[in-house]
Amino acid sequence: MKSYLITDPTFYGSDANSLESAFDVILSHFLPDFVLFRDKQTTHYASLASIFVQTCIAYKISKILIHSDYILAHELRAHGVHLTSTEFDLIAKAKDLSLYVIVSTHSHEEALKAQELGADAITYSPIFPSPDKGEPKGLEDLKQIVDKISIPIFALGGILSQEHITQVEAAGAYGFASIRYFV
């Protein structure tokens, strides 16, 4: 089961020093397979993303992704980009730059569309209750989408414990993605 850490400035801070020190602690403890730099608040996104990428390279993280900005991901030599469910039109542009593309999806239709347009993987959410994310999809719905598509699916939303990870693995997910599990 692959693990996918998603950052949030609430837990990691929005300045270079706090991000780097928090990430040193997190990465030395968990060593996730995939990591995503996401900070929708900072005005210094590019410089923080650069620090993030360099820190992850030092820890030999398998896949380093940048949120939405496929051009910045390419410039920083990140492995890929994580696009939102409103950015399907960017899949081909990111693929043209040889980036690994993960797309956030929240319905079977979105998951099928992401696959059809060439995404390498998706997140599917929310599986469990998660703040401000609406009604959870649940494990049965996750099983259904796993059976419908062939690209890797990361279960996302409310994954806080090893029990949750075991449940999404049993449902057939390729991996799990989380913010709060890793803090």
Three-class secondary structure of residue 42 per DSSP: coil
Angle of helix 138-148 versus helix 108-116 axis, rounded to 10: 30
Q: Where are the domains of the chain?
A: 2-182
**pLDDT per 10-residue tile (average), the chain, 183 residues:** 93 81 89 94 91 94 97 98 98 99 98 99 96 89 98 98 98 97 91
CATH number for domain 2-182, candidates 2.40.30.170, 3.40.630.30, 3.20.20.70, 3.30.70.100:
3.20.20.70
Quote the pLDDT of residue 11.
80
CA dihedral of residues 130, 132, 136, 141 (deg, nearest 10)? -100
Quote the pLDDT of residue 56.
94
Quote the pLDDT of residue 183.
85
What's the pTM? 0.95
Omega before 9 within 30 of 0, i.e. cis:
no
pLDDT tens track for 127-164? 999 887 789 999 999 999 999 999 999 999 999 999 99
